[in-house]
Amino acid sequence: MKGKIKMENKDKMCVHIEERREFLKSAGALLGAGLAFTSFSSLLCSCENDQYIFNPPPPPTSIDIDLSKYPNLGADGGAVIDNFSYTVEGKTYTLRLAIARKSSTEYIIVAANCTHQGVPLNLGEPLVCPLHSAKFNLAKDPPGKVAETAGQKVTDLKTYESKVKGGTLIIYV
Ligand code: FES
């Protein structure tokens, strides 16, 4: 009869409603999982921009520098700044380093790019950023330490261990 539901049909409808409820619950769970996955993937995507996670630095190695090519390092107190390339597993990397001679066997080596925006620093004591004027210790203790922030968000420069062997300065990077 039109407008009324027979008892038998009503039971069938209840079964359908139950099934639909279960379906919605599963769909909700899947949707939740999907959203969680999406958030996780976007997290991964955002990490893709992070070179330290997805483009890890090359394995530790060393750069050998022929000291005779740097006359400025011929006397204590001398300093240079230059780009140094080295190859690991077929890939070439370049580091801009500031090197200061303390003695014939002791050298200070610091990364020579500003920790604010990566701008190459100018040689001096301190090293000076030409863009916003932050300053960093070179040979002055502690090497690489921020000497003046100039109001910028800067951190200390990375420093490197080294040793002298014959006329070669070996820098561990
Ligand atoms: S880039 Fe060096 S202080 Fe801003």
Domain ranges of the chain: 7-52, 62-172
Give me the helices (H) in the chain, please: 7-48, 51-54
Please tell me the distance between residue 146's alpha carbon and the centre of ligand 1 in angstroms: 12
User: Longest C-alpha distance within the chain, in Å?
Assistant: 109
- Which region holds residue 63: left if phi is over 0, alpha if psi is between -120 and 50, else beta? beta
pLDDT in tens, 15-61: 444 554 554 455 445 444 444 444 444 444 444 444 444 555 666 78
Please tell me the distance between residue 165's alpha carbon and the centre of ligand 1 in angstroms: 35
Q: Per-residue pLDDT for 171 more than 60? A: yes
Q: Per-residue pLDDT for 94 more than 70? A: yes
Q: Identify which of 113, 110, 146 has the alpha carbon closest to the alpha carbon of residue 130.
A: 113
* pLDDT (0 to 100) of residue 55: 57
Q: Per-residue pLDDT for 143 more than 60? A: yes
Q: 69-73, 83-87, 123-127, 145-149: lowest mean pLDDT where?
A: 83-87
167: confidence class by pLDDT, cuts 50, 70, 90: very high
* pLDDT (0 to 100) of residue 114: 97
pTM of the model: 0.67
**The one-letter amino acid at 100:** A
Q: When comparing pLDDT for 96 and 20, which is higher?
A: 96
pLDDT in tens, 103-142: 999 999 999 999 999 999 999 999 999 999 999 999 999 9
For residue 63, what are its two tokens?
Answer: 């750069």
- Testing ligand 1's pocket by substitution, the residue of 119, 148, 155 carrying the most ligand atoms inside 8 A of its CB is 119
Which residues, 6 or more positions from 18, have their beta carbon under 8 angstroms from its beta carbon?
none
**Shortest-distance atom of ligand 1 to CA 119:** 1
- Ligand 1: does its nearest atom lie under 6 Å from the Cβ of 152? yes
Which residue, by CA, sits nearest to atom 1 of ligand 1?
Answer: 117
Residue with tokens 């000076």: 128
Q: Which CATH class is domain 62-172?
A: mainly beta
